Amino acid sequence: MSKKSVVLAFSGGLDTAFCTVYLREQGWDVTTVTVDTGGFPPEQLERIQALALKLGAVAHHTVDARDTLFQGYLRFLIAGNVLRGQVYPLSVSAERACQAVEAVRMAEKLGVQAVAHGSTGAGNDQVRFDVAFRTLAPQLQLITPIRDLALSRKQELDFLAERGVHLPAKLGAYSVNEGMWGTSVGGRETLDSWSTLPEAAFPGGEIPTDLKPRPLVVAYEKGVPVALDGKAMTPVAVVEALNALGRPYGIGRGVHLGDTILGIKGRVGFEAPAAHLLIASHRELEKLVLSGKQLFWKETVGNLYGSLLHEGHFFDPVVKDLEAFLASSQDRVTGEVKLVLTPRAHVVEGVRSPHSLMDAKVATYGEANVLWTGTEAAGFAKLYGVAQMLSQKAK
């Protein structure tokens, strides 16, 4: 390595392509690192490596971090049933934290002097990468060409074209981030609150009109998906299979409107079949096996965990405390959930578990039971309402 060496978190998109050429022209030896958090078929990873070398990187590394992503991040998002704004599965949030950690590991392994990312100065990713890099590797220089130069996407395309690098026009129209937990899509339609992203902007494209309902069964062991339709799989394989099954149906596709880390409103398109199917089925299984108080506090903890991850606070010590709670809550979350997929929708049809708290032999809601008598129930109902009765009398 030269005295000016940098590791660049490289996605193969327009921004990081620009960064590679720009940093090289600034005298840096650029090593590109693509952290595979899913969504990349082998041929695409090969294309990314070829592009990095074509752009002048001295070396390129691909890190398979799919299992790392699941074990370190996604299993807690499932345990917490986390959907920001009730719709968005925090795919980018989890991936960026994971990618930043792996990029730092590579930088330390190679002994470089700097780390770089291609995030703009407008979004959340710049904060996530900056915080991770400065927390985990404060000794390394942080370089952010896209943010510092504030170029438009057209200017980036023109810069590369002038140097003989011609990227597909689509890269200038939409910013697409693919990952195992979902794909985010940004473009001119997401810059206001009224416009609609065209179906063609999503990786799944137009939804076929002749799809038939697709039943499936997801099995969990201690809150982790371990089988699909009776076939044992690794958690990563379950996620990838559900993405493949759900994508043609348009499952988990939508647009999220919410608050950014910088304090402004932001809007992003997403397509996340596996995340939506797993969270819906996992939540239903938890309803069967967890107590009411567990469910209440899990929702609170899950929302807090998701907010910390989304807002770039993943390295705060409280995150590990929350993970310990979420992990403990999953001890009895074992069983199967039956779903049916239809275009743009999925329905949970049934759930079963060896730890079920719903026992028809003990009590049937609204009918007879063996745990109490009618007289005891009447006494309970009377006492249950005493506080409200006294409150009304005190008016």
Quote the CA–CA distance of 129 and 131 in Å, as a whole number: 6
pLDDT of residue 194 exceeding 50: yes
pLDDT for 200 equals: 87
- Examine the pLDDT at 344 and tell me if it is beyond 80: yes
pLDDT of residue 136: 97
Lowest mean pLDDT among 20-29, 165-174, 320-329: 165-174
Tell me how crowded residue 28 is: count the other CB atoms within 10 A of its CB. Answer: 23
Q: Quick check: 367 pLDDT over 70?
A: no
CA distances from 280 to 79, 135, 355 (A): 11, 34, 19
pLDDT at 297: 97
Mean pLDDT of 274-301: 97
Residue 373 has a pLDDT of 85
| pTM of this structure | 0.92
Residue 122 has pLDDT above 50, yes or no: yes
Beta-carbon contacts of 274 under 8 Å, excluding residues fewer than 6 positions away, are: 180, 181, 182, 238, 239, 240, 241, 242, 243, 246, 252
- Residue 359 in this model has a pLDDT that exceeds 50: yes
Domains of the chain are 5-162 (3.40.50.620), 175-290+332-352 (3.90.1260.10), 363-394 (no CATH)
State how far the Cα of 227 lies from the Cα of 217, in Å rounded to an integer: 8
pLDDT of amino acid 1: 47
Confidence of residue 372 (pLDDT cuts 50, 70, 90): confident
Residue 245 in this model has a pLDDT that exceeds 50: yes
Alpha carbons within 13 angstroms on the beta-carbon side of residue 363 total 9
Q: Which of 48-62, 114-128, 281-295, 368-382 has the lowest mean pLDDT?
A: 368-382
Angle at the Cα of 241 from the Cα atoms of 205 and 231, rounded to 5 degrees: 155
Please count the other Cβ atoms lying within 10 Å of the Cβ belonging to residue 7.
28
Number of neighbours of residue 380 by Cβ within 10 angstroms: 11
Q: Does residue 192 sit in helix, strand or coil?
A: coil
172: pLDDT strictly greater than 80 = no
H/E stretch holding 347: strand 345-352
Rounded to the nearest integer, the mean pLDDT of the chain is: 93
**35-65: per-residue pLDDT in tens?**
999 988 899 999 999 999 999 999 999 999 9
Better-predicted residue by pLDDT, 368 or 261: 261
Nearest 5°: phi and psi at 198?
Answer: -70, 150
Which amino acid appears at position 230 of this protein?
Answer: G
Of the pLDDT bands very low, low, confident and very high (cuts 50, 70, 90), residue 303 is very high
